[in-house]
Amino acid sequence: MRIAIVAGEASGDLLGAELIRAVRARRSDLEFYGVGGPKMQAAGCDILEASSALAVRGLTEVLRHLPRLFRLRSQLARRFAADRPALFIGIDAPDFNLGLEKKLKRRGLRTIHYVSPSVWAWREERIKTMGAAADHVLALFPFEPALYAKAGVAATYVGHPLADAAPLLSQRAARRAQRQFAREQPVVALLPGSRTSELEMHADLFIGVARKFHAAHPDAHFLVPLVNRETRMQFENALYRVGAEKLPLTLLYGHADDAFTTADVALVASGTATLEAALYRCPHVIAYRVGGLTARWVRRRLRVPWVGLPNVLAGQFIVPEFLQEDANVDNLAQALLNLYADTLVRDELAELFSRLHHALRQGSAERAAAVVLAALGAAGQT
């Protein structure tokens, strides 16, 4: 019995891998195939297309990729409709997956969407779209199912897999010793994003901030996790382009958890990485830039005063956010220097992050797997 699955980006690849393992732990006869990354492949998924093919963001940035994305979605719709898998699971990537799910649902396939779009932040009308596309929504945050219940859409809170993976106790001292950093040496994590389009916006900016921080703390060291060879090459090219190749930094392939565990503070592009920073108790500053047209469109539709996930979950500004024109070298460097200097604030943030961690630690993969298996049973696929 086969399950079709489409995951976008590195975060979706992680979710998909954990879900596949949890489902197959209970039903080893089930096979997964579709769009995913290396983690899903390692979990046993037959990859038809790499998830990086869906890693496009922003309104204007998406436009030039639309023909390719429409072709891919049509190809997958035809393939899955012909194959008739027992179930289709779309993981995140709502602009791509919801249209695909809607087509498949109309053709009689049961569909699950894993990760609710940010309907609580903007584009609330997507709740109705979700109902037309998905038979069931798997929500990562506790306040989301109630929003869907009002619209009559089935949704289950499963918790966040990053919260399950992160240790409950800090390992900073051990990790710093392992990397041979002196106890008082400033260590800063820089996470400019997981997509090439994010690196285009953020690489020079984050390097500029690092140079200012280093000027104030000459013994500082920077850790830069990058998700793949392409984004690593982008960042390296930016270092040479701006003449910052002598900055004391270590480039990592992935391992954001390692960087957050080791660092005193971090500068993080808004997205899932901000939640990961919180789960690893790393005080951080959030920055984000998109194209001007995209920014104006989002601002008109934004329903909450914050974009960083730690702030959304806390319901207040606990992490500094700098967006668009405010996300400049001077503002970000000063915020990062202030945060590093204020150990009391850093300790308070660590305590807030700990409470957030416990709330999200729910055994998400097992909960999600239970919904998937129940859906198979409801469809008579046992």
- Give 49's strand partners: 35
- 238 vs 55, 199, 232, 342, CA distance in Å? 21, 9, 10, 31
Span 35-62, average pLDDT: 81
Residue 121 has pLDDT above 80, yes or no: no
Q: Which CATH number fits domain 2-159+362-378: 3.30.1540.10, 3.40.50.2000, 1.10.10.10, 3.40.630.10?
A: 3.40.50.2000
**What is the C-alpha separation between 376 and 3, in angstroms, rounded?**
10
**Under CATH, which number does the domain 165-360 receive?**
3.40.50.2000
pTM of the model: 0.79
Phi and psi at 226, nearest 5°, equal -130, 140
End-to-end CA distance of the chain: 9
**What is the average per-residue pLDDT within 305-332?**
92
Structure confidence at residue 55 (pLDDT): 65
Query: What tokens does 254 get?
Result: 């992935």
- CA-to-CA dists, residue 345 to 76, 163, 191, 266, 275, angstroms: 49, 22, 21, 14, 18
User: Percentage of the chain with pLDDT > 90?
Assistant: 70
Tell me how far apart the alpha carbons of residues 115 and 134 are, in angstroms, rounded to a whole number: 11
Would you say the CATH fold of 165-360 matches that of 2-159+362-378? yes
Domain ranges (residues) in the chain:
2-159+362-378, 165-360
**pLDDT tier, 104 (very low <50, low <70, confident <90, very high otherwise):** very high
Report the chain's C-alpha Rg in angstroms. 21
